[in-house]
Amino acid sequence: MSEPTLFEETPAPSAPAVSGLSVVAFDLSLKAPGICYRDGSTATIKTRDKDGDRRLLTIEEAAEIAIGGEHLGLGPVPTLAVLEDIPKNSFAAKPIAMVHAIVRRLLMKAGVPYALVTPATLKTYATGKGSGDKVPMAIAALKRAGREFPDDNQCDAFWLWCAGLDRLGHPPVSLPKAQRDALKKVSWPEVKR
């Protein structure tokens, strides 16, 4: 596999203790996918345009490590994965779809159920408003969790992770009911508890 050009990581200050339940989350793109690992730490996998489709191999390797599994010596796979859904009517939809295919295939092979959260639903969950730029997401992460991120990819992955744990009944941040109700729009898979 190709070697990642750069992993920019942000450690988790404190991960919630959730007995036997774990979530991994992905904000997928071809240039700089964000990952939130089971412990709440985050990373951005930065790829280079000049590497062309080989970037997909870098992303695949990073996703495989995040998913883990016994075959990698990383213990059991996560209970749930949460991915930001492919944006509709976007120029970026085609390359993001390629990345989604790779990550979804890995999840299916590992037996990890996954949910897709639209960008508007994620913003509503994190901020109470389903539109706008990325700044309110970062402000909400700082306000609600005391977390700062070097980029919006890690921030979005963090909020996807929060949504997954919330769905499993262990929300890592306190949010108003109206914001938590946004998750009712998501088609959540059955998970083994």
The whole-angstrom separation of Cα 99 and Cα 90 is: 15
pLDDT at 76: 84
pLDDT at 56: 96
Give me the sign of the Cα torsion angle 173, 17, 8, 156: negative
pLDDT at 124: 97
Q: What is the pLDDT of residues 54-81, one digit of tens each?
A: 999 999 999 999 998 766 666 789 999 9
pLDDT at 75: 72
Check whether 5 has a pLDDT greater than 80. Answer: no
The whole-angstrom separation of Cα 146 and Cα 132 is: 21
Percentage of residues of the chain with pLDDT beyond 70: 85
The whole-angstrom separation of Cα 126 and Cα 176 is: 10
The whole-angstrom separation of Cα 24 and Cα 78 is: 7
Query: Who wins on pLDDT, 157 or 68?
Result: 157
Instruction: Give the gyration radius of the chain's Cα atoms.
Output: 15
Q: What is the pLDDT of residues 90-133, one digit of tens each?
A: 767 788 999 999 999 999 999 999 999 999 999 999 999 998 78
Segment 39-58 shows an average pLDDT of 95
pLDDT at 19: 64
Q: DSSP states of 97-148 as a string? A: HHHHHHHHHHHHHHT--EEEE-HHHHHHHHHS-S-S-SHHHHHHHHHHH---
Q: What's the token pair of residue 137? A: 């997401």
Model confidence at 135, pLDDT cuts 50, 70, 90, reads very high
Q: DSSP states of 5-45 as a string? A: SEEEEE--S-----TT--EEEEE--SS--EEE-TTS-EEEE
